[in-house]
Structure 1
Amino acid sequence: MKAVLERWPVSRETQDRLAAYAALVRTWQKHINLVAPSTVPTLWSRHIEDGLWLDEVAGPVQHWVDIGSGGGFPGLVLACFAAERAGHHVDLVEANAKKSAFLRTVIRELALPATVHCQRIEAAGPVLGRADAISARALASLDSLLGLVSPSIQPKTVCYFLKGRAHEGEVADATAHWHFDMVKHPSRTEAESVILEIGNCRPMAA
């Protein structure tokens, strides 16, 4: 925790929320699989840090939509920041009922400005349509992600997809089916990790 917060300084209030969130993850992890068990000891550097990085890259976003939220990374980390920003909100789309129950518990206990939508992404069009920005981590290939969100998002919506070592191949595959603008943000701590900032996405003409 200390090393991560030295790299990504946050307010005392945000730090307290993140610590409480991490404690809830560890408690619930005993009953449902929120993260890979081997990563629980490094929860801050393996999971929470990605959300801190994303907030720095994207800056304050009034309305985030996090898809395939799972245990809440990065969506609930973004919600911890949103709690200090008037009028900011995070929607989390997660189809698994048990994980959705966990997300709602964190939101309630930490008083976060966030809403959980327990549904498949394909059914969340109205939620996606309200997004200023969309986030996804460890969910699907870039080609698949663009297929999931592009029918519903507004032209102004920016997507931030956290990717690992396979991202170059995913980008190459996606360019066969999609036009989009992209900025690649490399990680400070993981040589092969990036955030792909995607805008102006539209399908390739048949």
Structure 2
Amino acid sequence: MSDRLAELRDVVPDVSRETLADLIAFEALFQKWSKSINLASPATLDQLWSRHILDSAQLFSLAPGAQRWLDLGSGGGFPGIVLALILKAHDGRHIDLVESNMKKAAFLRTALGQFRAPATVHAQRIEDTASLIKDPDIITARALASLNDLLRLAQPWLAAGATALFQKGRDYRREIDECRDAWTFDLVEHRSAIDQDSVILQISNVQRY
């Protein structure tokens, strides 16, 4: 457990042992549910801690003061559940998780209930939640859609001043280039602390041409 605490503190320096315990328990819950529903690629389950949990946790350090978070297409809980468990240690924080797949949404609700994490699951399409979820500071998405589609989906909140933290793989520059004819935005590229071929795109001041 001490090795895992050190690994976690490499990406979230002030994280507590209680949060570590929650994340380890979530890992076990995820593995259990993965036997009956497809929460993540089976090929990655033996690397769940590093490839999914630590990869998700690193987002918190890019916006440690953010009060309200929104995770689009939460799937099996990456990064949404991981962030919820980290936010649990910070009074007044909250994250909304949007996942239209009912089986995955049921898993998310089960996990949040077990850990009493400060989050709400919206089991519906992203396009239908703009009027329900108000004024997030940060929007996250991981392995969900192309950058152009992400900007379209997140546009109602980005236009209101939210900042996006989108996790992308090695083809991210092509996705950025494909957006430039339709969108203008401020961009900061953060190299992933977990996967050197991946980045986190910090996007703000988004406008459609």
Normalising by the smaller structure, the TM-score range is: over 0.9
Confirm whether residue 91 of structure 1 aligns to residue 104 of structure 2: no
Confirm whether residue 58 of structure 1 aligns to residue 63 of structure 2: yes
* Paired residues for 1:111-126 under 5 Å: 111-126=116-131
Distance 1:53 1:4, change over 3 A: farther
Q: Provide the residue aligned with 2:197 in structure 1.
A: 192
- The answer (yes or no) to whether the contact 1:62–1:89 under 8 Å persists in 2 is yes
Deviation, 1:130, is: 2.4
- The correspondence for 2:185, drawn from 170, 180, 190, is 180
- The correspondence for 1:34, drawn from 15, 18, 39, is 39
State the AA in 2 paired with 1:29.
Answer: S
> Unaligned 5+ residue runs, structure 1?
none
- The correspondence for 2:49, drawn from 44, 57, 82, is 44
SS in 2 for 1:35: coil
Distance 1:125 1:162, change over 3 A: same
- The answer (yes or no) to whether the contact 2:158–2:164 under 8 Å persists in 1 is no
User: 80-89 or 119-128: which moved more?
Assistant: 119-128
State the AA in 2 paired with 1:8.
Answer: L
Deviation, 1:159, is: 0.5
For 1:72 and 1:130, locate their aligned partners in 2 and report how far apart those are by CA, in whole Å: 21
Cα displacement string for residues 152-189 of structure 1 (whole angstroms, at most 9, x for unaligned residues): 44432101100001100000001111000010000233
Q: Provide the residue aligned with 2:12 in structure 1.
A: none
Q: Provide the residue aligned with 2:153 in structure 1.
A: 148
- The answer (yes or no) to whether the contact 1:91–1:115 under 8 Å persists in 2 is yes
State the AA in 1 paired with 2:30.
Answer: V
Q: Provide the residue aligned with 1:6 in structure 2.
A: 6
Cα displacement string for residues 58-111 of structure 1 (whole angstroms, at most 9, x for unaligned residues): 223211000000000001111011111111001000000000000000000011
TM-score by structure 1 length?
0.94
Superposition RMSD in Å: 1.4
User: 133-142 or 1-10: which moved more?
Assistant: 1-10
For 1:155 and 1:32, locate their aligned partners in 2 and report how far apart those are by CA, in whole Å: 36
For 1:65 and 1:122, locate their aligned partners in 2 and report how far apart those are by CA, in whole Å: 13
Deviation, 1:4, is: 5.1
For 2:2 and 2:46, locate their aligned partners in 1 and report how far apart those are by CA, in whole Å: 14
State the AA in 2 paired with 1:160.
Answer: L
State the AA in 1 paired with 2:19.
Answer: T
Q: Provide the residue aligned with 2:81 in structure 1.
A: 76
